[in-house]
Amino acid sequence: MRILSGIQPTGNPHWGNYFGANRQYVTLQGNKDDAFYFIANLHALTTVRDKERLSQQTFDMAVYFLAIGLDPEKSTLFVQSDVPEVTELTWLLLTCCPMGLLERCHAYKEKLAKGLTADAGLFTYPVLMAADILAYDSDLVPVGEDQQQHLEVTRDLAQTFNYHFGETFILPKAYVVPAAGKVPGTDGEKMSKSYNNTLEVIEDVKAQKKKIMRIETDCRPMEDPKDPETDNLYLLYKLFASDEQRQEMEEMYRRGGFGYGQVKKELARIAEEYFAPIRERYAKFQADPSFVRDVLAEGARRARAKAAEVLDRAQSNCGICIPK
């Protein structure tokens, strides 16, 4: 049973990334042959056009993965562009891909709706994503509830290719990541880099505390009781809190008589404590770039071996290899 997932190196991961997906990667890793995680730098080219920035963020993402607990002995960690078989497989899939299928994809439609220019990379990126998944005979792909369309496209392309050229690809299934609930940003909207409202996993503690102290709250009097489940500060706090801590905070909300500044200080404290081991490991791996490069090189070797096997199968089945 092989699990595969990837993340674009387009910025520092925030609390929403970590609790919504990244933490589950660590839980799901079993051994190096069963858990494949990659840094999707080819996908990032649709938005990042600065070579130094892309290169550094790719390295930083590898450090982040190691810092949160991905173990090279339990999972395969690699960079997408280090497996060129995937881009060749992308072309084979493109020849079986209807235009209408891509026109219906969310990311492309959203760009058009906003009046933004959508280039060919964005239009065809679901096919590259399909190649990412199919190249490793992936069985399960962790996705959020709003990302299942991407996997449906992958399954459609695999079925079409299999129909034309015979059984070639395994049809992957979605592993819907258990929801962490809404992770609100500093403005109350969903935490997202595009909204500039994030609290990052790896961030200067003092700078993060200032962000937390500026989180928007309502203007109800201190003495009024408040519903914790509708308050963004509490929703953030309970990401970190133990059952006992959550219960105490809930009781304080319901009886009232407190200020939001008190909750903000406690949120800053508990978040700092929770992420301290990750920050410590992040600093350690940043200081040892040769180790990180070795992990990525070994991961690419494993990934290429599997991708080459799948690509050879696809080439043979569709007839682009010269007969022996």
Q: Annotated catalytic sites, by residue?
A: 111, 190, 193
CA distance 110 to 123: 11
What's at 26, amino acid-wise? V
The answer to whether the beta carbons of residues 46 and 121 sit under 8 Å apart is yes
Phi, psi of 116 (to 5 degrees): -90, 155
Structure tokens at 135: 């190249």
Residues 83, 305 contacting (CB under 8 angstroms): no
Contacts of 114 (CB under 8 A, 6+ apart): none
Pairing of strands 35-39, 3-7: parallel
Strand order in the sheet with 173-176: 76-79, 35-39, 3-7, 140-143, 173-176
DSSP-assigned letter for residue 190? B
Strands (E), the chain: 3-7, 35-39, 76-79, 140-143, 173-176
The helix or strand, by DSSP H or E, that contains position 292, with its residue range, turns out to be: helix 289-318
